[in-house]
Amino acid sequence: MPLDLPTIREQFPGLQRKAIFFDNPGGTQISQASLERMTAYLTECNANHAGAFTTSRASDEILDLARSSVAAFVNASLSEEIVFGPNMTSLTFNLSRSLAHWMEPNDHVVVTHLDHDANIRPWLLIAEERGCKVLWVDFDVESGKLDLDSYHAALESKPKLVAVGYASNALGTINPLPRLVKDAQEVGALVYVDAVQYAPHCPLDVQNLGCDFLVCSAYKFFGPHIAFLYGRYDLLAELKAYKVRPAPDNPPWKFETGTQNHEGIAGLLGAIEYLEWIGTSFGDVYREKYSQRYEGKHLHLKQAMAAIRAYEFEISTAILQVLNSVPGLVIYGPNDPRHAEERVPTFSFTMKDWHPRQLAEALNEKRIYVWDGNYYALAVTERLGLEKQGGMVRVGAVHYNTLEEVEQLGHALKSLTT
């Protein structure tokens, strides 16, 4: 059954605004299920952790359910492999501080020019502090794809850690993560994956992927401003945690410093419940594909993401066709509509005679919301030679966007070329 867009759009109160939201790579609209979970938490069981009284126990039940639901979303083997935090950047900085204790002078750390700076800067800092060497993996400026020769050359040094994104938040490129992880681990490297841009669009399975760590932000997939980190339990148990003395010594709690954003965690639970609804309502066609490996919540979530992915192929193809038809517009990253499977529906471009900020402002006047600049993917805009020119304009769709909205984007852009 294809996605029922009118019914799906009803699940997002923000879409009542008379605007077209193509700002999704920076944060999607929040689902009604997420809002309801947050409201219910704050009104029914707002309390701190581990108390003897009723509301504290009810609060802990919600947090436990959220943790197990996130574990199902990424197919972690244990719910204790999920660590909550305020955002991907903070979680990565915190974990990098712990991982620094395993770094020795002259160890090698691998980062890529295709990544968000939150999966670059933390590793550069610990390399500087510990006397490690940083190896940069390049990407092809024409195709927007990671340079695999550059990657394998970096692995020859047998690095201690490889930090890589699942999908580029700037160019939309999906990296061949299963191969990258396998090759890195064959030389003994730990692999830290930024899945923030991948998670709203495609099924995740950390056990199948085999990565050591993976991080996501819920506000990129229909929830509130909160994030989570997956880490292999044996690694989390062994790592040093920076915490106060009364805090637990076992994962995940030893990494969750202070009182967490409980209502945000409840909202994350609601976002995953929304995705379950997608899976049960529109994902039955994918049941046979996934039922031999998954069941229950795990199965419904994989069905949901497969249904979303299938619809977004159509959206991606339509956006590429529209952008390729605009005079003076240059797309950066994979730009062949026939190969939509190589990307998520995130597109960055420049347009002749327009500064990216001015173009974003002009589209805002037409009630089309897009991003401009470098989106914290500083290494990308520097590598493309666009940082001093103001970066790029970024259009990003998710499954609640419509083909009619894509058509309106095309009309708006073409009107600005005359």
DSSP assignment of 50-86 = T-SSHHHHHHHHHHHHHHHHHHHHHT-S-GGGEEEES
Give the per-residue pLDDT at 13.
Answer: 98
Give the per-residue pLDDT at 74.
Answer: 98
State how far the Cα of 99 lies from the Cα of 105, in Å rounded to an integer.
14
Give the per-residue pLDDT at 146.
Answer: 97
Mean confidence (pLDDT) of the chain:
97
Helices (H), 231-261: 233-238
pLDDT confidence tier of residue 1, bands split at 50, 70 and 90: low
The residue to which tokens 């929040």 are assigned: 30
Give the per-residue pLDDT at 384.
Answer: 98
Q: Are 135 and 160 in contact (CB under 8 A)?
A: no
Mean pLDDT of 20-48: 98
State how far the Cα of 277 lies from the Cα of 306, in Å rounded to an integer.
13
DSSP assignment of 193-209 = EE-TTTTTTS---HHHH
Q: Are 224 and 38 in contact (CB under 8 A)?
A: yes
**Amino acid in the structure at residue 223:** G
Tell me which residue of 114, 354, 15, 71 sits closest to 207, measured CA to CA.
Answer: 71
Give the per-residue pLDDT at 337.
Answer: 85
Tokens of 244: 């106060």
Mean pLDDT of 206-225: 98
**Coil, strand or helix at 108:** strand
- Evaluated on CA atoms 190, 174, 34, 38, the torsion sign reads positive
Flag whether pLDDT at 222 surpasses 70. Answer: yes
Mean pLDDT of 254-262: 95
Flag whether pLDDT at 113 surpasses 70. Answer: yes
pLDDT confidence tier of residue 418, bands split at 50, 70 and 90: confident
pLDDT confidence tier of residue 340, bands split at 50, 70 and 90: confident
Predicted confidence (pLDDT) per residue in 350-377, tens digit:
999 999 999 999 999 999 999 999 999 9
Q: Cα torsion at 310, 317, 319, 390 (round to 10°)?
A: 100
Tell me which residue of 345, 342, 343, 330 sits closest to 385, measured CA to CA.
Answer: 330
Predicted confidence (pLDDT) per residue in 377-389, tens digit:
999 999 999 999 9
The half-sphere exposure of 295 on its side-chain side, counting CA atoms within 13 A, is 1
Mean pLDDT of 20-28: 98
State how far the Cα of 244 lies from the Cα of 247, in Å rounded to an integer.
6
Percent of the chain with pLDDT over 90: 98
What does pTM read for this prediction?
0.97
